[in-house]
Amino acid sequence: MRNTAAILAIFQVICILTGSLRSSDEIPGAPQKTPIIIEGATIHPVSSPSFTGALLFDKGRIVALGKEVKAPEGAKKIDAGGKHVFPGFFDAYSQLGLTEINAVRATKDLSESGSINPNVKALVAVNPDSELIPVARANGILLALTAPSGGLVSGMASTIQLDGWTWEDMTLAARGGLYINWPAVSPASAWLVKGPAKKQLENRDKRLRELAGVFEAARAYSTARSARGPDQPVDARLEAMLPVLRGELPVIARAETIQTIQSAVTFAERQGIRLIIHGGHDAPLCAALLKKHEVPVILRSVYRLPRRRSEPYDHRYTLPKRLREAGIEFAISGSPTARTAHMRNLPYHAAMAAAFGLSREEALEAITLAPARILGVAERVGSLEEGKDATLFISGGHMFEISSNVEQAFIQGREVDLSSRHKRLWRKYGEKYRRQRENK
């Protein structure tokens, strides 16, 4: 018995030490106490043309902005002459806080066992001490959708702010959409795909029937609840589907090819539900369908190789331009699936889109206001407007230039720490080589 107690005590110590190793050193920002005015900067409201002027925020909200803004008594003044002010960048898809190191299973908490998990909430699994959060924040990414993966119906995605002691502190919108890995319609021959074409098609049909069955069961459950009231036993999985059936929440469907996109749109129209396409590689090829049903697209990164040998080298780079020309609303994500560590590069995905057809203003909108609109939080974030959250940052240059750095950042008026593991390692090894030079 004593041996068992000793083993348990040692195990607890190991867990505590392991947890501390995974924790970031950054301390969340304190609530704003005094008004802050940023003067002399180039302001990028996104919802209106850029201008040189000032921006005032107080109690976590933007109070005023314009070419001339009077500072209230006692306000803290920030001289930002020659600098830029942007709304916080918004990554419209990630697994931030749910995974740390892809090769280490113990740091991954992004999927549940089973195929149908609409009741799974990504938000409650978010690790606020993830080292990836300050790394992304240091490059201007202050907002993100974090989504579960795995299975057919993965669960509920959530919109988070990249600062806070707990997942509750980080919550902007607890329910952002129901994430579904849409069954691939056409068989694939890639090395990572298992089974012959016939087997793939059988599996596709099975998964589509399973998906239709989930919605059918949810509608029957909704009818039973309306008829029986509190006497109806609660089913957590079907209960989670009700906001989707009522049109309160969208389905976010992972779909890349034209056939898969068409399948998802047809299903959504038949079910009478709202739909967002995540991926969208072939979205321009079914632009008429997407536009007819007002289906927006979250592009799964821009800075990527073509999907097919027949596609030109710039196929992904010009994808935002082609969607804009087709009149389809879209947002750009910097997080390829299972590559959350790379979301720090979000502004450079937008910059690539700007280099290949979008204007700078359109590219900026694709990582700020567009994702906020698509995910239903545009009344609070996404642009610099009076009454919106003071979630913004100051940079030394335009953030589409890789040489520009974020100098100060605020989330709901709280100034946040811009240090990160990357910066700590840079300082550490910079000091090493500085000493070596001195000793020569």
Among residues 245, 243, 225, which one has the least CA distance to residue 234? 225
Residue 310 lies in a domain: yes
357 neighbors 321 (Cβ within 8 angstroms): yes
In angstroms, the CA 294 to CA 3 distance is 64
Range of the structural domain that residue 304 is part of: 89-381
Residue 14 lies in a domain: no
Per-residue pLDDT at 229:
78
Among residues 91, 83, 29, which one has the least CA distance to residue 401? 83
Tokens of 163: 């600062």
Residue 79 lies in a domain: no
pTM: 0.89
Residue 389 lies in a domain: no
Per-residue pLDDT at 17:
42
Kindly state the DSSP code that residue 425 receives in the 8-state scheme.
Answer: H
Give me the CATH number covering residue 132. Answer: 3.20.20.140
In angstroms, the CA 393 to CA 403 distance is 16
Per-residue pLDDT of the chain (440 residues; tens, 9 = 90+): 556 655 555 555 444 444 444 556 788 888 999 999 999 999 999 999 999 999 999 999 999 999 999 999 999 999 999 999 999 999 999 999 898 887 777 777 777 888 999 999 999 999 999 999 999 999 999 999 999 988 899 999 999 999 999 999 999 999 999 999 998 877 666 655 666 677 778 788 888 999 999 999 999 999 998 888 787 888 899 999 999 999 999 999 999 999 999 999 999 999 999 999 999 999 999 999 999 999 999 998 898 888 888 888 999 999 999 999 999 999 999 876 557 888 999 999 999 999 999 999 999 999 999 999 999 999 999 999 999 999 999 999 999 999 999 999 999 999 999 988 988 999 999 999 999 998 87
> How many separate domains does the chain show?
1
Residue 298 lies in a domain: yes
